[in-house]
A and B are shown apart, each in its own frame.
Chain A
Amino acid sequence: MMALDGLRVIDLTSGVSGPWCTKLLADYGADVIKIEAPGIGDDARGHGRFPDGVPHREKSALFLWLNTSKRSVTLDIATATGRALLLRLVAQSDAVVTDQSASELVRLRLTHYDFAAVNPRIITTSVLAFGQRGPYADWRATNLTSYAVGGHHYLCGDGDREPLQNGGYQALYAAGTWAFGATLAALWDAHRSGAGQQVEVAGQEVMASILEIMLPDYAYRKSEALTVRRGNMSTAVVGIYPVLDGHVGVHAMPKNWPQLLGALDAHWMATDERFADDRARRGNDDELMAQMYIWSAGVTKREAYERGGRFRAPISPVNTVADLLESEHLNARNFFHEIEHPAAGTMRYPGPPARMPATPPTPRRAPLLGEHNAEVLADLLGLTPGDLAKLTAAGVT
């Protein structure tokens, strides 16, 4: 049994944010029915990477990752028939997740009010870069633009260079993660109150809410002292250092200083007045950094990490994805799930983010395009094989 068994979610999203939200719902047990455009499907199917670099809509790494445990139904929701079938599915579901703009949903006549008319308890979650309302509601968006307007982009990178986006699609993932939780909170309420509602998650707001100390400090003091790009080095003991075979990160708060000295085998520093306390160390940051570089030039990632663990100092390797797959620790915890896919083959997928021992999630492979048309439309809506053939001939599925 999984935690979200019994919940059904209609997924009208594509790309990263919406699919990540619904993948999490699906991996934890919800029956997620992914509605895809006939013949084309989710944009992520064209994204890659692909085995041997050959594009194939069933083999895109981004799609395979973001759509585990879902069922795929192809349906042209812009047609009257497609829309009617969709609403019949909504009538039998708990939540709908969308990533279309408000104006697009009005045009399709697929707003929360259309869903609520057939299911008063429905939760309709919108996950968008700028939100459904506001002056940017119809703006076009990518991960880059969400990173930019969320306040992170300006702060990321070196002070004397252009702002830097961090790796992958972090602003898109964050919006999806937040939409996952928001949907569950609204579902909890709907079960209790018997009433559905609209849930809205805007990527810009999500990113603006996780600006660590930089936003709160500015909001309090109106000082821009902390709102600068600091590169990889905040201080000598909060930064990333090159080591013999890569890089390691160090993050020592004042209370971690004794442990850091143990890990560095630098006990002499404990009696050096330049490093006597936090204030002294801040005043002699350059000299401390020089000592750190001397240390880092002589260790490997593994050695630095092992000593960090032994002395309880926050030191970690900058792992590559190859390091992850080989990690003794992650493998001892059975973090990766080996999943076979008929087109893309067998790969090891990262496990779900939270472990729930009473309801362990068991992710299944991503669906082929329209793989579950017959299953869903026949079982849930009672369509006959003849009906299905007509829908396919008409291009609705």
Chain B
Amino acid sequence: MTSIASNIQHPTSNSDAGLPLHGIRILDLTMVWAGPSATRLLADMGAEVIKVESARSWDMLRSLHFLSGPPPGWWNRSAYFNHNNRNKYGITLDLQSERGRELALRLVAMSDLVFENYRADVIGKLRMDYDDLRAVKPAIILVSMPSHGKSGPEAHHVAYGTNVEQLAGLVSISGYPGDGPHTSPIAYGDPNAGALAAAAALAALHHRRETGEGQHVEVAQWEAMIGNIGEYVLGYQMDGDVGESLGNRHVSRVQGVYPCVTDDEWVAISAGSDAEFAALCAAIGQPEVACDPRFADDVSRLLHHDELDTMIAEWTRMRSQRDAAHAMQAAGVSAAPILKIKALMEDENLRARGFWESVSHTEAGTWDMDGPTWRMSRTPAHVRVPPPMFGEHNDWVLQDLLGLTEAEIAALEAEGVTAREPSAGVHS
């Protein structure tokens, strides 16, 4: 290795100086989706997020659906990994080695927050639990995101985001009516816990600013999902009904998904009030239906919902989803196209709002990525830093932040404490 200093691409730029979380440093020990989605939200807002992996413990997402191309470097070409880790810096440190742990604790001492979403017992085995972190940084805020929480008789269980929504009751109230439970199409427990953990971290920062006190925030992903169906939990205590799935229907509105002119193309339509229902009838060219006693109020409309569905579908089948949605909205009826991913990325609303940002990456090329969802008028955020390649920012962190010499950095790599390539076989 020649002069490291000349090779360092100093990643800290002025582009984040005006962002809300500029000056907040986060040591990010999280992997897969839940934790990385939390730190992504904070990274978008200008926090300096340093993601830690190692040769033997690297983010599984790197191995999923990567772009094809000549090896080496496949681990830098996963769309899923890159999507979740933009605006972050990436280093490798083997936390299971004494030297790696010692360096990680030195980073903790200069950080505001540490995030981890290991299985409940792992952070303790690494001897990096809250008390260990507090010993080097008394005001540290540790955010842990175990699926089941750190206490309780089931704390040793493991779960992915799909399991989380099963545990939380959401799957039991989802599904085609009469057809049993149904999963969400994503590992919904992950981004839900992530967004709540990011917010809880900010709440903890508020408290630290007022009092100087840090704390150990715990987001049990199972618990964090239950709030999303809180009305079912209370409803059950009112009437003893655990809640059957209504599918695409609603307790009081006329609504559903309706087929359009092209195969497997659909539009969602929903009419609540009498006025909205009358507008729906007018829009499909049957204004007299609104005066039909079968459909006089929301209770009778629900009783005759199938008949309404037939009438609405006759109208939608002649139209594209876009034309149907626009016609309904013009008439004053809630409606929207059920967008495929391709149509979503071409959607006129998201395009007009500048939602998509082009990201260029040394090994993965250039593609469109969704921009920050926390939109701020005075401090607008963007994708500033492409997702980190494996160990990309080792030199910057080890030399500039930790003050290690070239020789020390080379020795760490020789000892396997840091790495430039992940060990294959961990996730295959």
Binary B-proximity of A1-25 (CB < 8 A = 1, otherwise 0): 1011111000000000000100010
> Which residue on chain A has the smallest CB distance to residue B40?
A209
Q: Indicate if the CB atoms of B163 and A309 lie closer than 8 Å.
A: no
Tell me whether B160 is interfacial, beta carbon within 8 Å.
yes
Q: Which of B159, B174, B192, B217 contacts A314 (CB 8 A)?
A: B159
Tell me whether B109 is interfacial, beta carbon within 8 Å.
no
A251 with B160, Cβ < 8 A, contacts A48-B235, A165-B247 known: yes
Give A324 Cβ to nearest chain B Cβ, in Å.
Answer: 5
Instruction: Give CA–CA (A161, B256) in the complex, Å.
Output: 13
> Which residue on chain A has the smallest CB distance to residue B149?
A333
Tell me whether A95 is interfacial, beta carbon within 8 Å.
no
Q: Which of A6, A49, A151, A240 contacts B344 (CB 8 A)?
A: A151
Tell me whether A110 is interfacial, beta carbon within 8 Å.
no
- Contacting A at CB under 8 A, from B134-170, are 148-149, 151-160, 162-164, 166-170
Q: Return chain B residues, CB-CB under 8 Å to A348.
A: 233, 237
Q: Indicate if the CB atoms of B248 and A350 lie closer than 8 Å.
A: no
A316 with B427, Cβ < 8 A, contacts A149-B349, A162-B259, A212-B33 known: no
Q: Which of A181, A191, A314 contacts B163 (CB 8 A)?
A: A314
A359 with B348, Cβ < 8 A, contacts A140-B333, A162-B248 known: no
Tell me whether A117 is interfacial, beta carbon within 8 Å.
no
- Contacting A at CB under 8 A, from B58-116, are 60, 64-65, 67, 79-80, 82-83
Q: Return chain A residues, CB-CB under 8 Å to B238.
A: 49-52, 59, 61, 344, 347
A333 with B64, Cβ < 8 A, contacts A164-B247, A167-B229, A322-B236 known: no
Instruction: Give CA–CA (A278, B241) in the complex, Å.
Output: 42
A135-B349, A214-B341 are known; give 10 further A-B pairs, CB within 8 A: A47-B252, A145-B335, A148-B266, A152-B184, A181-B198, A210-B37, A211-B344, A249-B162, A320-B169, A359-B204
Q: Indicate if the CB atoms of A319 and B182 lie closer than 8 Å.
A: no
Tell me whether A62 is interfacial, beta carbon within 8 Å.
yes
Tell me whether B191 is interfacial, beta carbon within 8 Å.
yes
Q: Indicate if the CB atoms of A189 and B167 lie closer than 8 Å.
A: no
Tell me whether A349 is interfacial, beta carbon within 8 Å.
yes
Q: Return chain A residues, CB-CB under 8 Å to B10.
A: none
Q: Indicate if the CB atoms of A354 and B233 lie closer than 8 Å.
A: no
Q: From A216-224, A264-272, A291-299, A371-379, give the one contacting chain B.
A: A216-224
Q: Indicate if the CB atoms of A251 and B377 lie closer than 8 Å.
A: no
Q: Which of B166, B234, B376 contacts A64 (CB 8 A)?
A: B234
Instruction: Give CA–CA (A308, B154) in the complex, Å.
Output: 10
Q: From B208-216, B286-294, B394-402, B406-414, give the one contacting chain A.
A: B208-216
Q: From B300-308, B350-358, B416-424, give the one contacting chain A.
A: B350-358
Q: Indicate if the CB atoms of A320 and B341 lie closer than 8 Å.
A: no
Q: Indicate if the CB atoms of A61 and B370 lie closer than 8 Å.
A: no
Tell me whether B132 is interfacial, beta carbon within 8 Å.
no
How many chain B residues touch the partner (CB < 8 A)? 150
Q: Indicate if the CB atoms of B218 and A227 lie closer than 8 Å.
A: no
Contact residues of B: prevailing secondary structure: mixed
Please give the residue numbers on chain B whose beta carbons come within 8 Å of chain A beta carbons, in ascending order.
Answer: 20-21, 33, 37, 41-42, 45, 60, 64-65, 67, 79-80, 82-83, 119, 148-149, 151-160, 162-164, 166-176, 180-188, 190-193, 195-200, 202-207, 209-211, 213-220, 222-224, 226-239, 241-243, 245, 247-248, 250-253, 255, 257, 259, 266-268, 270, 272, 276, 329, 332-342, 344-345, 347-350, 352-353, 355, 364, 367-370, 373-379, 426-428
Instruction: Give CA–CA (A344, B238) in the complex, Å.
Output: 9
Q: List 7 A-B contacts (CB under 8 A).
A: A148-B336, A149-B339, A200-B375, A214-B186, A312-B157, A354-B224, A356-B200
Q: Which of A52, A62, A255 contacts B239 (CB 8 A)?
A: A52
Q: Return chain B residues, CB-CB under 8 Å to A5.
A: 210
Q: Indicate if the CB atoms of B231 and A66 lie closer than 8 Å.
A: yes
Q: Which of A168, A188, A200 contacts B206 (CB 8 A)?
A: A188
Q: Indicate if the CB atoms of A184 and B230 lie closer than 8 Å.
A: no
Ranked 7 nearest A-B pairs via Cβ: A354-B200, A167-B173, A181-B199, A189-B20, A182-B374, A358-B215, A155-B185
Q: Return chain B residues, CB-CB under 8 Å to A103.
A: none
Q: Indicate if the CB atoms of A220 and B217 lie closer than 8 Å.
A: no
